[in-house]
Structure 1
Amino acid sequence: MSKLVVQAPVLKNETISNLVKRLTIYSPELAGKAVPGQFIHVKIADSYHPLLRRPLSISDVDVAKGTVSTIYRIVGHGTALLAQLKSDEVLDCMGPLGRGFNLECKKPLLVGGGMGLAPLVFLAQRLCPRPVEILMGGRSEQEMFWSSIYSTICDRVHIATDDGSVGQRGFTVDLLPELLESGNYDMVYSCGPRPMLEKIAAIAKNFAIPCQVSLEEHMACGVGACLSCTCAGKEGKRKKVCTDGPVFWAGEVF
């Protein structure tokens, strides 16, 4: 899929939780091309610091309005600068980049942890009106602001927290076998920390359910030239997460 470089006006850059913000830009060109699982590569500043673009997963698209949104966490200098953007400022964006999710399913289960839940929002929207359920995990109720986002999209929201402050106490991988046993799902989609993805892939394989994972890796160029985001493939060949992924069939990388 061809990529674009656009100068996109910022419409909103709103706080939705502690250190987590939702950035919405106006770009009919990006909105018309984006598919769930892809990302945009944004230039944070006109200076050399930070030098590299930042990859941001696409979490919402409104083709009719020409808008693209991303949910991000402030974790360093680059995202701290991004958080200072105001309405009507212009953001240099490259995208949409990467390989997205395969949407061929009838009853999907989405599984996400932490900021891995961001790209699954767009996926859940595109999977509707099919019955969509999500299993989400976090450390505490404070991190589960995601439930209000997904409750308007998904038929059912299952929650696991480390401390049991909301939902069931435990991790997503603790709840997953019971759900797969009774849910009659035909696809598992997941994004989050790599150790979590490895366990989810193994559980889905035990139930003979196809599984796709979206990998989180540090990226530099975003277009497959620098090889900074490669990971080991199942057949021994290195995979470029920015171009071969970020979405893979679980069997390709685990």
Structure 2
Amino acid sequence: MSGYVEMGEVVRNEQIGSDVWVMDIHAPKQAAEAKVGQFCNVRVSDSTAPLLRRPISYAGFDAAKGIITLLYRVVGSGTELMTRLVVGDTLDCLGPLGEPYNTTENMLLIGGGVGIAPMLCIANNLKFGEQAQVILGFRNESETFWADLFKDSPVKVHITTDDGSVGTKGFPTAIMPELIGANQFTSVMTCGPTPMMKGVANVAKELNVPCQVSLEERMGCGTGGCLGCGCDGAGGKRYKVCKDGPVFPAEEVFF
């Protein structure tokens, strides 16, 4: 899907963590058609610096209000420029792009870092008959502000921290066997750092639960034309993450 270019109007741009921001944008075409796991490719400047768009997963969308929600971490000049936008400013948004998650009736959602955004999107857009629980993995207590984003979501939240300051000590994989053993999950959905996702995929495979992962790669066009986000797939296949993904069955990209 090639998406739409919309000049979206910023209606909120708020800092929620030391380097994490949430932005609501009025982009009605995308809000009406976006699916969980897809992303928006934003142009943060009218000049050539930075040249490339920034791919950001949808953290939410509201078709009735025409609003899309993006969570982003400030990691360079492009995202730093985004923090300067104020209510009423416009942002060049290309989307919805990429392949979404294929949701199922009972999901275990596992997110880390900005990979929590698509998990939040799933949690707030459950279809009739669907349910989910979520594991959020943090380094320490300072990152647990992410959990506050789920306070109005119809999901049970489990927290792990590397240092044990909140929730269970360890990575999300530490509590996966217990949760999967106590629930009849029909799928695992994950997004976050690659080592975390690989660990999640391995545990899901061991416990015979289908797993879908969302890959993060540097992208140029976001529509499959520039070949800048290629990744190796099972059986010698070659995928374009922006177009064939970013969501893949885990066994297709972790092998």
TM-score, L = length of structure 2: 0.96
CA distance in structure 2 between the partners assigned to 1:170 and 1:75 by the alignment:
25
The answer for the alignment partner of 2:192 in structure 1 is 192
1:148-163 paired onto structure 2 within 5 Å: 148-163=148-163
CA distance in structure 2 between the partners assigned to 1:152 and 1:69 by the alignment:
15
RMSD: 1.2
CA distance in structure 1 between the partners assigned to 2:230 and 2:109 by the alignment:
25
Give the secondary structure class of the aligned counterpart of 1:126. coil
1:1-254 paired onto structure 2 within 5 Å: 1-103=1-103, 105-127=104-126, 130-254=130-254
CA distance in structure 1 between the partners assigned to 2:42 and 2:51 by the alignment:
11
Give yes or no for contact 2:42–2:53 (8 Å, CA) kept in 1.
Answer: yes
Give the secondary structure class of the aligned counterpart of 2:173. helix
Give the CA deviation at 1:71. 0.4
Q: Deviations over 1:91-141 (max 9, x none)?
A: 1111100000102x2211101111110111111112255331001101011
The aligned amino acid for 2:117 is A
Give the secondary structure class of the aligned counterpart of 1:235. helix
CA distance in structure 2 between the partners assigned to 1:202 and 1:164 by the alignment:
23
Give yes or no for contact 2:2–2:223 (8 Å, CA) kept in 1.
Answer: no
Give yes or no for contact 1:188–1:212 (8 Å, CA) kept in 2.
Answer: yes
Give yes or no for contact 1:134–1:154 (8 Å, CA) kept in 2.
Answer: no
Q: Which moved more, 1:146-155 or 1:156-165?
A: 146-155
The aligned amino acid for 1:55 is P
Give yes or no for contact 1:230–1:241 (8 Å, CA) kept in 2.
Answer: yes
Give the secondary structure class of the aligned counterpart of 2:175. helix
Give the CA deviation at 1:209. 0.8
Q: In the comparison of the two structures, how many residue pairs are matched? A: 253
CA distance in structure 1 between the partners assigned to 2:90 and 2:153 by the alignment:
30
Give yes or no for contact 2:123–2:155 (8 Å, CA) kept in 1.
Answer: no
Give the CA deviation at 1:184. 1.6
Task: Go from structure 1 to structure 2 and tell me whether the alpha carbon gap of 1:196 and 1:119 turns closer, same or farther (over 3 Å shift).
Answer: same
CA distance in structure 2 between the partners assigned to 1:33 and 1:155 by the alignment:
24
Specify every segment of 5 or more residues in structure 2 that has no aligned partner in the other structure, as ranges: none
The aligned amino acid for 1:113 is G
Q: Deviations over 1:65-98 (max 9, x none)?
A: 0000100011111000011011111111111000
Give the secondary structure class of the aligned counterpart of 2:125. helix
CA distance in structure 2 between the partners assigned to 1:157 and 1:58 by the alignment:
20
CA distance in structure 1 between the partners assigned to 2:138 and 2:249 by the alignment:
24
Give the CA deviation at 1:151. 3.0
Give the CA deviation at 1:191. 0.3
The aligned amino acid for 2:119 is L
Runs of 4+ in 1 over 3 A off after TM superposition: none
Give the CA deviation at 1:154. 3.6
Give the CA deviation at 1:222. 0.5
CA distance in structure 2 between the partners assigned to 1:43 and 1:82 by the alignment:
9
The aligned amino acid for 1:56 is I
Specify every segment of 5 or more residues in structure 1 that has no aligned partner in the other structure, as ranges: none
What percentage of aligned pairs have identical amino acids? 46
